[in-house]
Copies of this chain bind each other. A is one copy, B any other.
Amino acid sequence: MSFLKLNQNIGISVSICLFCYDNDQKKILTVINNEEPYKGALILPTKILNANESLEDVCSEILKYNIGNSNIYVEQLNAFGKLYRHPNGRIICISFYGLINLEKDKVNLNVKSGASFTSLDPNIDLAFDHNDMIDMALKRIKRRMKYRPLGKNLLPNQFTMNELEGLYASFLSKKFDKRNFRRRILEMDFLREIKKVQRNTRGRKAILYEFDPKKYKNYSRTGF
């Protein structure tokens, strides 16, 4: 294997940006770094890759270890390879991102790793270049939202237009005019009005919606 010039002294790690939407806020899964450098700092869940593991294996391991559930779909985000991103040597981090639904997906946060969902506003400060990873993942999600539906992995099965608007406002960092938002979302045609009605705390009625599974799936694949 020598001609491949292995033992290059480059390490590979895998990090995951796992977002959820909880209490009207977008949050991200963080853990406490348990070794130097930056011991004690908030970081993204991360693991060094071994030669006999696939990238997908490591993603599953990271998820299993930190939230007790590896059955979460994550997508590759980017390889972060700046020369001095890790103070102790050359580590290239291949990062992934995904969305988790705290109501539908079983989650068992690992106390030992300090796993928790941390609110993204006000901006949190993570060690290494993990903030850059979050920024890139959020940009990717923002771009996707323009052309593909979002919410299935983040909202309960049934939700009000206000809840959906809150989700969009949070991930797009944008305020909407209520009427315009409603019109534009309904034009996109991936929602289904259901007959049940929710009463809010002040007793006012709100229509409940759910995602049309077929249309949601089609638009997810082909875009609007």
Using a CB–CB cutoff of 8 Å, the interface residues on chain A facing chain B are 1, 3-12, 35-36, 48-55, 76, 78-79, 81-83, 86, 88-92, 94, 143, 146-147, 223
Contact = CB atoms under 8 A, between A and B. Distances in A.
A88 B8 contact: no
A5 to B, nearest CB: 5
Nearest to A48: B5
25 contacts: A1-B88, A3-B36, A3-B88, A4-B88, A4-B89, A4-B91, A5-B11, A5-B48, A5-B50, A6-B9, A7-B9, A10-B11, A10-B12, A10-B49, A10-B51, A51-B89, A53-B83, A54-B82, A55-B81, A55-B92, A76-B79, A92-B94, A94-B94, A143-B223, A147-B147
- Copy count, this protein chain: 2
A142 B89 CA distance: 38
Given A4-B89, A53-B83, 16 more contacts: A3-B35, A4-B11, A4-B86, A5-B50, A6-B9, A8-B11, A8-B12, A8-B50, A52-B90, A54-B82, A54-B83, A79-B79, A81-B94, A146-B223, A147-B147, A147-B223
